[in-house]
Structure 1
């Protein structure tokens, strides 16, 4: 489902809730382009968990393949230019 930013402004969140009974996600378009998406909180949390699991798997792979640096916090900040 797609609604315009103006529809959201004029019809409010109750309109969004009504649309979400028909679709799991509602896109908000601004000037004809999809700009935002509204998801049920359960779906958002599932996506965040999947993202974190992916990051952990990548970090484990980097560690196993030796792609890491051992350094002090001071050295790390210097390398980052902080």
Structure 2
């Protein structure tokens, strides 16, 4: 994976990221020698978000199948969550 330093980004601007994205799907931005951020194209980001939602749906379905849920009215739910706070 390509790495761009914060200083390079500051001096060369977004063009350095665009150039690196042509060679790789992600670019790491390092700040003071530490990898801090990942930049990617919006299409890849959207796909990753879609995968997150698919996993969340699968986890919710597994919870329902295993009985890990609570059936309650809105009022009961609000009381339960406010009691937890």
Normalised by the length of structure 2, the TM-score is 0.87
Structure 2 CA distance, aligned partners of 1:43 and 1:32?
26
Deviation at 1:4, TM superposition (A): 1.0
2:79 equivalent in structure 1: 78
Structure 1 spans left out of the alignment, 5+ residues: none
* 1:59-78 superposed matches below 5 A: 59-78=60-79
1:4 equivalent in structure 2: 5
Structure 2 spans left out of the alignment, 5+ residues: none
1:13 equivalent in structure 2: 14
Deviation at 1:62, TM superposition (A): 0.6
Structure 2 CA distance, aligned partners of 1:77 and 1:32?
47
Query: When the two structures are aligned, how many residues end up with a matched partner?
Result: 82
* Structural RMSD (CA): 1.3
1:42 equivalent in structure 2: 43
1:9-60 deviation per Cα after TM superposition (whole angstroms, max 9, x unaligned): 1110111111111111100011111110001111111111011000000101
Structure 2 CA distance, aligned partners of 1:57 and 1:24?
27
